[in-house]
Structure 1
Amino acid sequence: MSAPVIGLSTYREQARWGVWDQRADLLPTQYAEAVEATGGVPVLLPAVAQVGAADAVVRRLDGLVIAGGADVDPARYDAEPHPRTAGWRPDRDAWELALLDAAAAAGLPVLGVCRGMQLMAVHAGGSLDQHTPDLVGHEEHSPGGDVFGRVPVRTVPGTFVAGLVGETLEVGCHHHQSVATHPGWVAAARAEDGTLEAMEVPGDRFCVAVQWHPETAADVGLLAGLVRAAASYAVERSAR
């Protein structure tokens, strides 16, 4: 059986390498390494504006990761920007929402990471708390700079997430926003301060989202779960 192909959504940023300093489509290497380490083949998915592109891409994938990144445009959930909300990318929002539409229609396994979880909540008609420290009174979820916050998390018994990572774990977080409402999803894990740290769609389809960064951990149970679901999806699709 061939290794399942996992699409990874990407940033589009000004970047420097070698003699070059220009716009680039990029993603931290840890995502691709984690997919490869768990048996998948990673494919980067830069934002595409072409109508029908998301459907064409999803037809060729066995699984999808909506990666971390900048804040979601507050207009997507009918909110005014908080003073700390910044850097949203309308092109990336549109592309990833189109990918989520196509993935839902195809029953494709999906994992959302950090911003990915927030976008998936918005895709379902939900909303975000735009600056979590206003609610919890601390900045442990995102200490600033390139440092990940270490956050204890407790999973909800019986969920996909609990089955993949266990009852409790300490995770690496880098989010100043969080999910406020999530229609159609169930809570799968929370931090000690009550912040929703994971959610999933009920049923048999692997559709899971987490606020933390599983690609940075030695235990990549969530990505392993996605790759297993993607392998099963590929077999089922070939049998149709």
Structure 2
Amino acid sequence: MDRRPFIGVSTYLVDASWSDWRSRRVALVPERYTAYVRDSGGIAVLLPPDAPERAPEVLARLDALVIAGGPDIDPAYYGRPRHPLTDVDSPERDVWETALVRAALAAGMPMLGICRGMQVLNVVCGGTLVQHLPDVVSPDVHAGSPGRYGAHSVRPVPGTLLGGLLPESELVVPTFHHQAVDRLGDGLRVSAHAPDGTVEAVEGPGFALGVQWHPEQGEDLRVMQALVRAATAARTVPLEAVPLEAVSG
């Protein structure tokens, strides 16, 4: 029996409060990511930060990888001093996600980086980041407002993977970021721009795609549906159905 592909989604550690519990350390990711995977035909598997050497073992159990959005990656990873407005507060996430991306690239696993995830992909490939976009583009249309996503247009590059998935010359996307690609990483190419020239998507060999916007916050499933298709095509050993009596005790 065939199955829907397992899509690993990176999570992060924060202090949260709920019910009778206060300031408990939790691993979480916004529910829109898991809904995005589910609505596109995949099964989301949450990946809390772990030891980097375990990344290949984790990915061996999955069919594709999503690196979610979030705070800025430490600029030490690309050899730059920290900008005063760089938001670095997730060292365990930096270690884990860079290990996941390296392992996925080495294995040729289909991968999608969203916002921060695209930046991690670029940094892992040797690229650098603009640490605060308002320093180089004006007006700033990329960041939205506190607690709310913004929207702006992007222009996919014809002839790229993304250009094939989104063939329109321009489309409006949900956005919330203040950093972007500066020097492009080795083996990557740009596959979308904003009208102000900001890099909005990059891609590498196979299905290694990063988008600077937040597709999980909108209704357009095409990018994730393509990842699910790529994961299904790449899977060589389908999971066999397990008889109910084997697991019912």
Q: What TM-score do the two structures reach when normalised by structure 2? A: 0.91
Residue 72 of structure 2 is aligned to residue 71 of structure 1? yes
Structure 1: 5+ residue runs without aligned partners? none
Give the match for residue 171 of structure 1: 173
Give the match for residue 153 of structure 2: 152
Aligned pairs for 1:77-226 (under 5 A) are 77-167=78-168, 168-182=170-184, 183-201=186-204, 203=205, 205-226=206-227
The secondary structure found in structure 1 opposite 2:152 is strand
Take 2:16 and 2:199, find their aligned partners in 1: how far apart are those partners? 33
Take 1:87 and 1:18, find their aligned partners in 2: how far apart are those partners? 29
- Root-mean-square deviation (Å): 1.2
The secondary structure found in structure 2 opposite 1:102 is helix
Take 2:27 and 2:209, find their aligned partners in 1: how far apart are those partners? 25
Structure 2: 5+ residue runs without aligned partners? 239-249
Take 1:93 and 1:87, find their aligned partners in 2: how far apart are those partners? 9
Give the match for residue 47 of structure 1: 49
Cα deviations across residues 136-155 of structure 1 (Å, max 9, x unaligned)? 12221003311112111111
Offset, 1:164: 1.4
Cα deviations across residues 184-234 of structure 1 (Å, max 9, x unaligned)? 111100000000000111x4x111000000111111111111011011111
Work out which of the two has the higher radius of gyration on C-alpha atoms and give 1 or 2.
2
The secondary structure found in structure 1 opposite 2:84 is coil
Take 1:213 and 1:28, find their aligned partners in 2: how far apart are those partners? 12
Take 1:99 and 1:11, find their aligned partners in 2: how far apart are those partners? 13
* Runs of at least 4 residues off by over 3 Å: none
Take 2:89 and 2:126, find their aligned partners in 1: how far apart are those partners? 18
Offset, 1:237: 4.9
Letter in 2 for 1:221: R
How many aligned positions are there? 234
The secondary structure found in structure 2 opposite 1:92 is helix
Letter in 2 for 1:24: V
Cα deviations across residues 25-53 of structure 1 (Å, max 9, x unaligned)? 0000011011011110000000002x531
The secondary structure found in structure 2 opposite 1:101 is helix
Cα deviations across residues 128-169 of structure 1 (Å, max 9, x unaligned)? 000001111222100331111211111100111112122221
Give the match for residue 26 of structure 1: 28
Offset, 1:95: 0.5
Offset, 1:73: 0.1
